[in-house]
Amino acid sequence: ILNVEQSPQSLHVQEGDSTNFTCSFPSSNFYALHWYRWETAKSPEALFVMTLNGDEKKKGRISATLNTKEGYSYLYIKGSQPEDSATYLCAFGSGGSNYKLTFGKGTLLTVNP
Amino acid sequence: AAGVIQSPRHLIKEKRETATLKCYPIPRHDTVYWYQQGPGQDPQFLISFYEKMQSDKGSIPDRFSAQQFSDYHSELNMSSLELGDSALYFCASSPRQGLTGELFFGEGSRLTVL
């Protein structure tokens, strides 16, 4: 059983605050690490897919880093806005012929205006 | 742009009945994944298909079966429904198996078993 841990479980910040949360995953058999943004009543939307140790990706105010050797990824949001409120899911892609994503439980971010 | 289409969006069934969920992937996507999300739970991988063949199997009960058809749409068949099967079932498609792997999700089918 693959263990993908996300912390914190939930987070409340004020508009304009910068924040970050963590995804921990097995450091063996790594293939890819995905981040998804999931708003209530909508389907998950891909933010980043990272495959190389040391990868850093950015999309607007959101960025992510990857450390495959120690098995963690950070997601950063700069200057949080109320529309950033969502659950942020990470998913660990294990390698081999059976490519499979194992999701964490997510971090619920609430940005208060 | 076309997205992943799931039907029906909502389904109510009685215990021991059968349900079928359908997923139409984005055109030219050859890989389909099914996930189940129970109330307050993280998404659980059920099964995936690549080029109409089952590529991986997760925590899918024996009462469930799925297939991918020649037009790449997929159907998840659930029999002898139990209360615990009530969940949001997501289908996702991907353009290439095992490469970028980015998933595009449908809006989900919510199954309620009474």
C-beta atoms of B56 and A100 within 8 A: yes
Nearest to B65 by CA among B54, B25, B50, B42: B54
At B96, the pLDDT band (50, 70, 90 cuts) reads low
Nearest to A103 by CA among B105, B113, B78: B105
CA-only gyration radius of chain B, Å: 13
Among residues 52-81 of chain B, which lie with CB inside 8 Å of chain A? 55-56, 58
Classify residue A96 as left (phi > 0), alpha (psi -120 to 50) or beta.
left
Residue A55 to residue B7: CA distance in whole angstroms? 37
The pLDDT of residue B102 is 82
Is the pLDDT at A99 greater than 70? The verdict is: no
The pLDDT of residue B100 is 63
Q: Render pLDDT for A80-95 as a digit per residue (tens, 0 to 9).
A: 999 999 999 998 888 7
Closest residue in chain A to residue B110, using alpha carbons only: A41
Among residues 39-98 of chain A, which lie with CB inside 8 Å of chain B? 42-46, 49, 89, 93, 97-98
The pLDDT of residue B1 is 63
Residue B103 to residue B95: CA distance in whole angstroms? 8
pLDDT (mean) for A24-43: 87
Strands (E) in chain A, as ranges, are 5-7, 10-14, 19-24, 30-38, 45-50, 56-59, 62-67, 72-77, 86-94, 100-103, 107-112
Mutate to test the interface with B, among A9, A43, A88 (most CBs of B within 10 A): A43
Instruction: Report the Cα B16 to chain-centroid distance in Å.
Output: 20
Q: Render pLDDT for A15-33 as a digit per residue (tens, 0 to 9).
A: 999 999 999 998 888 888 9
Phi, psi values for residue B10, rounded to 5°: -135, 145
At B30, the pLDDT band (50, 70, 90 cuts) reads confident
pLDDT (mean) for B58-82: 94
SS3 A82: helix
Nearest-CA distance A15 → chain B (Å): 26
pLDDT (mean) for B33-48: 86
Q: Render pLDDT for A49-82 as a digit per residue (tens, 0 to 9).
A: 999 999 999 999 999 999 999 999 999 999 999 9
Is the pLDDT at B49 greater than 60? The verdict is: yes
